[in-house]
Structure 1
Amino acid sequence: MSEPESSQQPVTTEVIVDDSSTVPSYSNFCRVTATPEEVILDFGLNPQPFAQGRQDVKANQRLVMNFYTAKRLLTALGMTIQRHEGTFGQIELDVRRRAHIPQPGAPTGPKGVVE
């Protein structure tokens, strides 16, 4: 006779990742596109990320994954960012607010300080 299900130990899986031959690269640009079956992430370096007008960016890495993997990545990134913000504070995406650059039309005080 088998034991009740409540007494069975949960099955655990351990994944060991060999990253010994991984080449790290930096990216400040990501383009996300998709087909009906896959998500495509193109990564590159934009040397002038805040420049106006046309900007040519060379994508030097491409990741292609199915939607299941993409959703797991979305969850993992969300949890990682949430943990980071819980420790270090909110990540401000607006560069003008990060650098304290006055926004157009904002009132300024002496020496251009935003009030």
Structure 2
Amino acid sequence: MSDSDKSVEEQAAQQTGQQTVRVRIDQRDMDSSYANSFRPIASTEEILLDFGINQAVPAQGDSKSTEIIFKVSSRVIMNYYTAKRLAISLSQVVGQYEEQFGEIKLNAADRRLESKD
């Protein structure tokens, strides 16, 4: 097989002496869920991320106030190396989104002011 017949990955691996690795993603057993909130929990070895929904409900015994219930639906446990790669990846994806659609305002009051314009 000549060099022109090899893929770019194969040529790069041959030049660097590294073996190429392909990752196949198996989604057959995947569960999907929606989350509008998360809670990080850190230990010395791992980070736990609880994902779920914030729900506003009337406070018990007080009809004039509400309380937020964080209903956890999923927990992801990862080591710090994976957490750092996740943080970098999310930062890149959000940055690309903001380049295309504008800055995401985290303060709800700022979003309300913009919607009135």
TM-score between the two structures when normalised by the length of structure 1: 0.71
Query: 1:74 corresponds to which residue?
Result: 87
Q: Which one has the bigger helix percentage?
A: 2
Is the partner of 1:22 in helix, strand or coil? Answer: coil
What's the CA shift string for 1:34-84, capped at 9, x where partnerless?
1100000001111239xx764221211000000000000001000100111
Residue type of the alignment partner of 2:74: Q
Matched, 1:31 2:39: yes
Map 1:1-115; keep pairs closer than 5 Å.
8-9=15-16, 11=18, 12-48=20-56, 54-100=67-113
Q: How many residues align?
A: 95
For 1:35 and 1:17, the matched residues in 2 are separated by 29
Identity %: 35
- In structure 2, the gaps of 5 or more residues are 1-13, 58-64
Which stretch of the first structure deviates more once superposed, 11-20 or 84-93?
Answer: 11-20
Equivalents in 2 of 1:37, 1:53: separation in Å?
Answer: 37
In structure 1, give the amino acid aligned to 2:49: L
Query: Residues of 2 paired with 1:35 and 1:86: CA distance?
Result: 35
2-side partners of 1:94 and 1:10: how far apart?
Answer: 50
TM-score by length of 2: 0.70
Secondary structure at the counterpart of residue 91 of structure 2: helix
Cα deviation, residue 15, structure 1: 1.4
RMSD, aligned α-carbons: 2.5
- SS across alignment from 2:51: strand
